[in-house]
Amino acid sequence: MKNTFWALIVAICLAAAVVLVPATASASNSILANEYHQMLSDFLTNCPNRVSGTSDMLDVADYLWGKFNEVGINTVRFQNVGDSQYDKNVIASIYAEKEKTIVIGAHYDTVEAEGANDNACGVVTLLQIAKRLVEQKHKLNFNVKLVAFAGEELGLLGSAYYVSQLTQNQRDNLALMINIDAVAAGDNLYVYCENKSTPLLNELLTQGQNQPVKLHSKPFSAGVYAFVDKWGYGYWEMAQNSDHTPFRLAGIPTALFFSGNYKGMFYGYVESSNVQNWTMNSAGDTLQSLQQNAPNFADKMATVAQMVCNLLTDESSVVAIEGAREHLTAGIVYNNDYASIAAFVVALIAIVGAVIYYKKLKKQAFVGVAEVKTPEVFTSPDVNDVFKF
Amino acid sequence: MIAKLRANYMLVNVLSKILLALAYVFASWKTFAGLMTMMLGSAAWPTILLGCSFSGAVMVVLAHFLPKLYLKFAKIYMVPHSEFSLLATLAFAMYYLMVGLLNLILLAVPTFLVWADALFPIVSALVCWLVFYSVTGKLYFNDVTKPYYFATISIAVIALAVLGGVV
C-alpha cells in the first residue's frame, strides 16, 4: 500500500513535469519573441527611412550608436563609406583580450520600403546579440566587432569599404564574418558557409538542432553556378549577394544566416511557399506583413541570436572557427589557383607538343622520306577520302 | 546510313548545323541559367532555352564563316571552302558535345566546378583540334603543305581560344 502511494506521488510529479516544463519553455520563448517584436517595432518607428545616400541615414546611424551604448558598449565608432556624406558603417567593439576577432554584420539600409525583413530584423538581431555578448563578455573566445553596414542595397558598398580599410594584420586576425540578412520572412532558416560541408557548418547545424526554429544548411544548387569567384564559389548564386561576399573574396571565412525556401537543386529558390511573403525589396516588406504571413519571425531572430552567442562563447566551437580559413583558401578542390595552374600546364604541354610535331613535319617535308598519299603534290586529294557529294 | 549521308551534301550540311546548335544548347544551358538568374532574379526553362538557342544560331553562323575567313587569311586556295567549313562545324559540334557531357559530372559532384571550369574546355578543345587537324590534314594536304597548314591552324585555334576566353 505504501509502495503504491509513493508510486502514485512519483507518477503525479512526472506528469506535472511533462506538462509544466514545455509550458515554461513556451512562456520563455513567448517573452523572448515579444522582446524581439518590441525592438523591431521600435526600430521601424524611429528609423522609417533608411535609403542609402539620403540624409535619413545619419539619423539611423545615431539611433544605432545610442542602442549600442544602451546595451553597454562604449567603444562605438562611425566609418564613412568612401566619400559618402550620409552613409556610415556603425562599428561597436567588444574587446575580450583575445588574439582573433569575429565580425558580426547586418545591413541597416533598405530600398524605398519599410524593410522589416530586409533588413530591420537583421539589425534588431544584431542589437540582441550585442546585449547578450556584453553580459557574457567573460566567456567570449574572440574579440567581437558588431557592424551595422550601410549601402548594401547599392551594391555592398559598406561592407566592401570596411574590408578595403582593413590592414593585412587585421585581415589575418579576422577569424570569421557572420552576416545576418533577411532572416524573418522565409519558410526555413538557413546558414550558408561557402556552399560546402565544413567543421564550422557542422558545428552550427549541430547547435541548431535544439533551437526554437530548426537551422538548415543551404542545399547545393548546381544550376546557378554561372561564375565562380577567386575561391571557387558561385559568385552570383542565390543567397550569395550580401555583405559577407567582400569578406569571402578577401579570404575571410563567412557564415550567412538567411531565411527562404529551397525546393530543389535547380533554381528551386523562393522566399516562401506563401506568395504573400515574397516581399524582398518591395513595398510589401512591412512589419504588418511579417505578423500576418510569418508568425514565427521573432523565433527565427531569436534562434539566430542564440546560435551566434553560442558559437562565440562555446569552447567546442573554437577549433571549427579557427579552422574555417584553412577550408576556405587552402583546399585543392576549391581554390581556383590550383585549377588555373593545371589548365596552364595542360596548355603548355600542348604547345610544346605542337612545336615538336611541327619540327617533325618540317623535317619530313624537307627530307621527303614520308609516305606521300597521292603521287602528285598540290593536286586534289585522294578521291576515296573526300565526301562524295 | 553513313554512306547515304556522305552522298548528300545538302542534308549533311543542314544536319551538321542543327547538331552544332543542339550541342551548344547542351553545353551552355547552365551558364545561361546563371545569367538569367543574375539579371532577372529567376530562371525559367523556356527563357533559358530561348537564350541558348539564339546564341546557338549565332554560333552556327560563326562556325560557317570563321573557317572560310581562316582559309582566306592563311592564303590556302586549294581546299574546297564549303567542305572545310562543314568539317569545322562538325568539329565545333563535337567540342560542345564533349563540354556538355563533361558538365554532367557536375550534377553528381557540384564542388568539382572549379576544376571543371578550368579543365573541361581546354581538354575538349585539344581533342577536337587534333581530330579536325588529322581529318583535314589527311584529306587536303600532303607532306610538303602540311607543316604550313599545321602552323596556321594551330595559331587560329589558339587565337580563337584566347578570344573565346576573353569574350
Q: Determine the pLDDT at residue A15.
A: 57
Structural domain count, chain A: 2
In this structure, the answer to whether residues A300 and A339 fall within a common structural domain is no
In this structure, the answer to whether residues A356 and A253 fall within a common structural domain is no
Dist. CA A59–CA A51, nearest whole Å: 11
Dist. CA B120–CA A296, nearest whole Å: 46
State the DSSP H helix or E strand holding residue B16, giving kind and residue range, or none if neither: helix B9-40
φ and ψ of A149, to 5 deg: -85, 145
Q: Which of A205, A166, A168, A202 lies closest to A188 in space, CA to CA? A: A205
Is residue A337 predicted with pLDDT exceeding 50?
Answer: yes
> A213: which 3 cell numbers?
526554429
Dist. CA B152–CA A252, nearest whole Å: 46
Q: Determine the pLDDT at residue A383.
A: 58
Q: Determine the pLDDT at residue B38.
A: 63
Dist. CA A53–CA B83, nearest whole Å: 61
A215-217 and A188-192 strand pairing: parallel
What are the percentages of helix, strand and coil residues in chain A, rounded to 5? 50, 15, 35
Q: Determine the pLDDT at residue B36.
A: 73
Structural domain count, chain B: 1
Q: Determine the pLDDT at residue A26.
A: 47
A254-262 and A269-270 strand pairing: antiparallel
**3-class SS string, B96-161:** HHHHHHHHCHHHHCHHHHHHHHHHHHHHHHHHHHHHHHHHHHHHHCCCCCHHHHHHHHHHHHHHHH
* CATH number where A268 lies: 3.40.630.10
Spatial contact of A306 and A312, defined as CB atoms under 8 Å apart:
no
Q: Which of B110, B158, B84, B68 lies closest to A355 in space, CA to CA? A: B158
Q: Determine the pLDDT at residue A363.
A: 87
In this structure, the answer to whether residues A346 and A264 fall within a common structural domain is no
Q: What percent of chain A has pLDDT over 70?
A: 77
In this structure, the answer to whether residues A386 and A253 fall within a common structural domain is no
Q: Determine the pLDDT at residue A230.
A: 59
Question: Average pLDDT in the A113-135 region?
Answer: 94
Question: Average pLDDT in the B12-18 region?
Answer: 93
Q: Determine the pLDDT at residue A321.
A: 92
CB contact under 8 A, A236 and B37: yes
In this structure, the answer to whether residues A318 and A291 fall within a common structural domain is yes
Dist. CA A138–CA A215, nearest whole Å: 27
Which range of residues forms the domain containing residue A140? 23-329
Dist. CA B102–CA B119, nearest whole Å: 10
pLDDT band at A22 (very low <50, low <70, confident <90, very high): very low
**Which span out of A233-237, A260-264, A280-284, B88-92 was modeled with the highest average pLDDT?**
B88-92
Q: Which residues pair with A257 in a beta bridge?
A: A180, A191
Is residue B95 predicted with pLDDT exceeding 90?
Answer: yes
In this structure, the answer to whether residues A322 and A342 fall within a common structural domain is no
The closest CB to that of A373, out of B107, B142, B151, belongs to: B142
> A116: which 3 cell numbers?
522589416
pLDDT band at A380 (very low <50, low <70, confident <90, very high): low
Residues 6+ apart with CB under 8 A from A80: A87, A88
Is residue A237 predicted with pLDDT exceeding 60?
Answer: no
Is residue A201 predicted with pLDDT exceeding 90?
Answer: no
Assigned domain for A10 exists: no
Q: Which of A240, A239, A218 lies closest to A229 in space, CA to CA? A: A240
- From A309, A329, A349, give the residue that closes a domain: A329
Amino acid letter, A144:
V
CB contact under 8 A, A343 and B143: no
In this structure, the answer to whether residues A70 and A182 fall within a common structural domain is yes
Amino acid letter, B75:
K
Dist. CA A316–CA A385, nearest whole Å: 72
Spatial contact of A368 and A270, defined as CB atoms under 8 Å apart:
no
In this structure, the answer to whether residues A273 and A371 fall within a common structural domain is no
In this structure, the answer to whether residues A97 and A240 fall within a common structural domain is yes
In this structure, the answer to whether residues A369 and A235 fall within a common structural domain is no
CB contact under 8 A, B43 and A267: yes
Could you give the C-alpha distances from A128 to A16, A102, A110, A187, A358, in angstroms and in order?
Answer: 33, 16, 20, 22, 70
Cα angle value A68/A72/A78 (rounded, 5°): 35
φ and ψ of A218, to 5 deg: -65, 125
The closest CB to that of B114, out of A220, A238, A334, belongs to: A334
A340 contact residues in B (CB cutoff 8 A): 118
pLDDT digits (tens, 9 = 90+) for B106-137: 777 766 777 888 888 899 999 999 999 999 99
Question: Average pLDDT in the A108-122 region?
Answer: 92
pLDDT digits (tens, 9 = 90+) for A310-323: 999 999 899 999 98
φ and ψ of A110, to 5 deg: -150, 175
Q: Which of A194, A291, A186 lies closest to A248 in space, CA to CA? A: A194
Spatial contact of A64 and A123, defined as CB atoms under 8 Å apart:
yes
Q: Determine the pLDDT at residue A14.
A: 55
In this structure, the answer to whether residues A310 and A346 fall within a common structural domain is no
State the DSSP H helix or E strand holding residue A27, giving kind and residue range, or none if neither: helix A2-46
In this structure, the answer to whether residues A298 and A386 fall within a common structural domain is no
Q: Determine the pLDDT at residue B8.
A: 83
Spatial contact of A130 and A41, defined as CB atoms under 8 Å apart:
no
The closest CB to that of A362, out of B37, B78, B147, belongs to: B147
Spatial contact of B68 and B45, defined as CB atoms under 8 Å apart:
no
Spatial contact of A307 and A183, defined as CB atoms under 8 Å apart:
no
Assigned domain for A15 exists: no
Using DSSP's 3-state secondary structure scheme, residue A296 falls into coil
Interface of B with A in 121-160 (CB under 8 A): 122-123, 126, 138-140, 142-147, 150-151, 154, 158
Dist. CA B97–CA A353, nearest whole Å: 25
Going through A153-211 in order, the beta strands assigned E by DSSP cover 174-180, 188-192
Is residue A266 predicted with pLDDT exceeding 60?
Answer: no
Spatial contact of A253 and A325, defined as CB atoms under 8 Å apart:
yes
Question: Average pLDDT in the A251-273 region?
Answer: 78
Interface of A with B in 51-80 (CB under 8 A): none
pLDDT band at A71 (very low <50, low <70, confident <90, very high): very high
Average model confidence (pLDDT) for chain B?
Answer: 87
Which range of residues forms the domain containing residue B96? 2-166
Assigned domain for A3 exists: no
Interface of A with B in 148-187 (CB under 8 A): none
Q: Which of these ranges, A206-210, B20-24, B88-92, has the smallest mean pLDDT?
A: A206-210
Assigned domain for A67 exists: yes
User: A102 vs chain B: nearest CA distance in angstroms?
Assistant: 27
Q: Determine the pLDDT at residue A236.
A: 47
Assigned domain for A165 exists: yes
Assigned domain for A16 exists: no
Assigned domain for A290 exists: yes
> A344: which 3 cell numbers?
596552364
